[in-house]
Amino acid sequence: MDAEQTTPAGVSRRDLMKKAAVAGGLVWVAPTVLASPAFAGASGCPSCTDGANGQLFGIKFQQGSNTCEGPGSNPGGDGNCGAQAGITNFRNGCCLITAGLITKSDSSGGMNFVIAAGLQFCNAFAKCGNVCFTNDAQKITVTPGANGATNVRIDCDGDQQGLSHIELFVCVNGTTIPAGCN
């Protein structure tokens, strides 16, 4: 069989196969890129901030403190990692801690969070010394948890300056926003 057979439209079989392989590669690559932590980090869940698809909430904890605070939305502000990355349109998420939708526990050198099913993890930052890290596999680990929950571990293991604070951003569907968050 001749490898250069052409279709009735005049396209060679080899060209058709190349185009199909390229198209197939694009279809396969696109979901991988869109689901990657780097994409989520760069976007900060943009579809979440329009209200129709949910609301973006942020929490911040200083190392060694159990006091939740809003991360701050001033990109020039000292220590606001999310704001420096362009995440400035969010609500204070401490009410999600109060409602039990996000739980926090401390462990050696870091903090662990469990985000309840129905909430979408968007981004996390670890400020190690004076440097903000996001989606760094050595500083931030995101894994599936039980019953659809998401586990997030944030730490500065191996960094001499240690953990200064963390910032965590989640998207909450409008129907699951607790009364205390309105």
Q: Is 8 or 81 the better-scoring residue by pLDDT? A: 81
Q: Cβ(101)–Cβ(119) under 8 Å?
A: yes
pLDDT per residue over 4-31, tens digit each? 555 455 555 555 454 444 444 433 333 3
The yes-or-no verdict on residue 80 having pLDDT over 90 is no
pTM beyond 0.95, yes or no: no
Residue 30's pLDDT is 32
Q: What SS3 state is found at 62?
A: strand
Q: Cβ(54)–Cβ(120) under 8 Å?
A: yes
pLDDT per residue over 82-122, tens digit each? 988 888 888 999 999 999 999 999 887 789 999 999 899 99
Residues 6+ apart with CB under 8 A from 22: none
Residue 131's pLDDT is 86
Half-sphere exposure at residue 99, Cβ-oriented, CA atoms within 13 angstroms: 16
CA distance 104 to 66: 9
Neighbours of 112 (CB within 10 A): 15
